[in-house]
Chain A
Amino acid sequence: MDDRQIIELYEQRSETAIAETARKYGRLCRSIASRILRHRGDAEACVNDTWLRAWNAIPPQRPVNLAAFLSKITRNLALNMLERETAEKRGSGQVPLLLDELAACLPAGGDAAQLEENLDLTDLLNRFLGAQPLRTRQVFLRRYWYCDSIREIAQMFRMGESQVKMILLRARGELRQLMQKEEII
């Protein structure tokens, strides 16, 4: 079933909308949630919440890109859940590593960096991503959006882990430069 048909099911308030969504995007959303949360039960709860959020959002929303729409919901829910849980209690997969890496984009003492509270960096990040070559952009998002491990990324792109690390290192450096240039940090 294509996305247009699935969205029509939501608009008709058909109960099969969620079943069709789960059939088509369940694996994708579980993959995103499990990379952030690691605990299987939490990841499943996240995915189920995603379907409920989608049900409540469509209509009036009519996503142009249903995969991205659902992925964003799942990722956000997973990060919310992660923040509520302590790392020692549940185990938190790649996220602590990702946060350490992203802290390098900020001045020394990353947590205390003077990022304006609630500042929306999305526009800057879109411009940063748009300026990157395709492969760099994909590697960067596989790491910091999809929360893949270095090893998984290396296998996906058929490159060495050191090459993945180098791509990410350079990309983070460029992001930091852009943030400095625009006086975000």
Chain B
Amino acid sequence: MHRHSLTKALFVFPCVFAITMVILIPFFLGLYFSMTDWNGVSDSIKFVGFTNFEKILAQPGFIYSFLISVAYTVINVVLVNVVGFALALIVTSNLRFRNFYRAGFFVPYLIGGIVLGYIWQFLFNNSIPALGKILSIDALQTSMLSLSDSVIWAMSIVNTWQYAGYVMLIFIAAIQSVPSSVMEAAKVDGAGYFKRVFTILIPMMANSFTITLFLTLTTSFKQFDMNLTLTNGGPAARFLGQPVMASQLLAMDIFNTAKANRMAEAQAKAVILFVALVVVSLVQVSINKRKEVEQ
């Protein structure tokens, strides 16, 4: 019996060791650093309690970053899932070349966020205004990235373009797992296409929505790479009477704080991001789980 448990412990050890080293220790160390005045290099580290948290919660720039991240997340969760689901419906119908479309819609996901940001920056700043000039449409002539009201939508367009194909793949798998007999029976009973989609297909594949909503929610909330290359946080806007960066999402705000050698402050911001993310995603998953049906 004793030897048995030793074997078990040995089998578990690699996992426990890895998790302790790369997740548990850094996590608690991070929590600790968020309550110090460490600058990232110095040997003297002073414990300062919640001073960093008080400081950042008084910064309009940080509050704005938080709010704009929430707005960006809401927009993206809706856009990416709606577009992804629509694409999934299209490529699971009897369309010609549907495998080609499936691959095509998925390709943007394979391009890294950095490259994608630069490509779309060129499109927004050069191509679209040039097009607007030729067609003499005023609205197109100013770049969407230079207006603080539209920049978040420009980012959402790019994000949707990137993620919709990925979400579509998950939806395709789910749609294909719904028994065709159920759909056909409904058709025979006289239910129209949209009726069938909304009352049979969607409830039957609710578990895939749990996954896609979770994925889109967390990735949008943590968005960084495309943010950095597409907008770099700009343009400036005014919030609570103070100049702030109109498209500086939380992750980028943390990055810029850390870059200014304010490591502890950045760490405190990261802790807030973590808590917000955990709360929101737990709520989302528990709500979604209740809606799932057993097949």
On whether the two chains bind one another, the answer is no
Using CB atoms and an 8 Å cutoff, list the residues of chain B in contact with chain A: none
